[in-house]
Structure 1
Amino acid sequence: MFEFCADPSTLETGPWFACYLTNGVHLLFYQSFLTVLLLLAITAPVALAFGFAGAAASRSHIAPLRWFGQVYTSMVRGVPDIVFFLFFVIALDQALEWINHQIRCPDWDEPIRQGANFTVCQAAKIPLSSSPQWVHEVYNFGVAVFTFAIVFGAFAANVLFGAMRAVPRAQLETAEAYGMTRRQSFWRVLVPQMWIYALPGLSNLWMILIKATPLLFLLGVEDIVYWARELGGSRTSQFAYPHPDWRLWYFLFLLVFYLAFTRVSEIVLARINTRLSRGQATMAGEAQRRAGA
């Protein structure tokens, strides 16, 4: 990055670290932080949408829809995250390639399942082997977002279902007595009030989602933990910047990053909780009314 970085072996300590921390590989390390933040920014609302749909389905009066919501919530929550990530990604990849294979290669006469191998025609590969690297990275990131959303959406569905049940039934009955339909009372009475009951559980889910981001490497995404392990390992003289095992310092940096990020999240969530508690018949709402009296 700097002109004096042409020959790192001739540099003193300060310039050496300046060159070391700004080389191309470290720029990928810094970029991986943005990847993690982007994953959280996209996954959180998508998972919340899945959770809301699952919770609404679980309380539906239509039996098949209610069964689907209950099975989704219970099944996904009952499988360890790492097992689900490993299974779901493989299953999703093969399902997409199988569908693409049926469309693009209808004349294929060889079995797709050949022992332990899953073989489709080259035109059905997703993404194509000839595709640019950025296409593979975007595909892996999209699969990661979808997988995280499916998993944490199930937990969010359980939280939102409990929050919906926590809203006093008398309020819904009053809304219906005033002539509101079941749908109107759901959107105008139940949904606006359930968030104050759901926020504590959703806050915990957000913290768990942050801690789960190191699982990105299982989904083919080079995340911050991957690069910390790669960069921190011992480097011999054959590398431009040889150094001993520095993984302790890299992972210590990640520790500080995650602690700072969770602390900021706690502050933001506390402010959201204060705002949602205004006027609500909860302990926090009652405390605000007494403080303002």
Structure 2
Amino acid sequence: MFEYCTDPDVLSTFEWFSCYLTNGKHLLFYKSFGLIILLLFITAPLAALLGLLAAVAIKSKFLLLRIFSKAYANIVRGIPDIIFFLFIPITIDQLIEFTRHKIKCPEIVDSVWQGSDFVVCGAAKLPLNSDPQWIHDIYGFLLAVFSFTIVYGAFAANTFYGAMNSVPQSQIETGKSFGMSRKQIYISIIFPQMWRYALPGLSNLWMLLIKSTPLLFLLGIQDVVYWARELGGSKTSIFQYPHPDWRVWYFLSLLVFYLLLTKISELILNRISKKIYVPI
């Protein structure tokens, strides 16, 4: 903030807005845009890797591995994303705390489920109540990354599976006739060629991932949606910067941000597509 921001009541319109838009909460609002970008760049490769492994597992010779991989891909794709974003973090969090409760507080024999409440000893909490806020923020962010990876890994698995099946079977049979092992066929024939078939589906998944990031606020993370609602709501005279309901302007800024993000993504993906496409 600027030096003249000590008394907003006596400022001109321009100075008032310059102080208002650079206060502490607005700086957190601006940082939340970076949080979205960070989530995308961490989640996208993890989901792609998980999807690739699941797709290979679906084509595995081992029956149990095939069944598990198919069940994962089909079940996750068939359930609304919002349910997983609410279910997975709560489940993982309670599972970790329940395990820590049994280890750190063995003297407590009461059930951790008391009616609709989940109660563990203080030492089993993760993060601990005494931990600084940044540890709580990182923990919540990691749960969000895990949730997005599980959901979009299932969609990526279906995309990779279709791309692998699109590689001409004649080339695979040729590799077998040359005595190539299953591993060599994947590395030398299937993986290099599947990308041109997988890229359109992966591009769509990237766009869907971008559109899903506003759901972060459901996980208790102070993302762009949280701050748009918090800052845009009407503020009375008890606040340092009182103003009427400005939520429409804040959400308009989110609209511009997501449109720019999708447009930039579209341009980059189109360039990648042109570089890797080889006519069949």
TM-score after normalising by structure 1:
0.94
Read off the aligned partner of 2:259 and give its amino acid letter. Answer: L
CA distance in 2: counterparts of 1:166 and 1:99, whole angstroms: 45
Q: Which amino acid letter does the alignment assign opposite residue 185 of structure 2? A: S
The one-letter amino acid paired with 2:248 is: L
Instruction: Give a deviation string over 1:21-74, Cα, whole Å, max 9, x none.
Output: 000000000000011100001000011111111111111110000001100000
Range 116-125 or range 150-159, more displaced: 116-125
SS of the residue aligned with 2:88? helix
Report the counterpart of residue 12 of structure 2 in structure 1. Answer: 12
CA separation in 2, counterparts of 1:241 and 1:114?
Answer: 44
Partner of residue 52, structure 1: 52
The alpha carbon displacement at 1:107 in A equals 2.4
Determine the structure 2 residue equivalent to 1:23.
Answer: 23
Superposed displacement of residue 225, structure 1: 1.0
Moved more, 59-68 or 110-119: 110-119
Looking at structure 1, the residues matched to 39 and 84 of structure 2 have their Cα atoms a distance apart, in angstroms, of 18
Deviation of 1:108 after TM superposition, in Å, equals: 2.0
**SS of aligned partner of 2:242:** coil
Q: Distance in 2 between matches of 1:57 and 1:147?
A: 21
What are the residue-to-residue correspondences of 1:1-293 with 2, within 5 Å? 1-278=1-278, 280-281=279-280
Q: Distance between the aligned counterparts of 1:132 and 1:172, measured in 2?
A: 55
How far the C-alpha of 1:106 sits from its partner, in A, is 2.2
Q: How big is the shift at 1:157?
A: 0.5
| Count, aligned residues | 280
Percent sequence identity over matched residues?
57
Task: State the Cα distance separating 1:6 from its structure 2 match.
Answer: 0.3
Distance apart, 1:256 and its partner CA: 0.8
CA distance in 2, matches of 1:105, 1:172: 57
> Normalization by structure 2: what TM-score?
0.98
Unpaired stretches in structure 2, ≥5 consecutive residues: none
RMSD over equivalenced CA pairs, Å: 0.9
Secondary structure, in 3 states, of the residue corresponding to 2:76?
helix
Unpaired segments ≥5 residues, structure 1:
282-293
Which residue identity does 2:32 align to in structure 1?
A: S
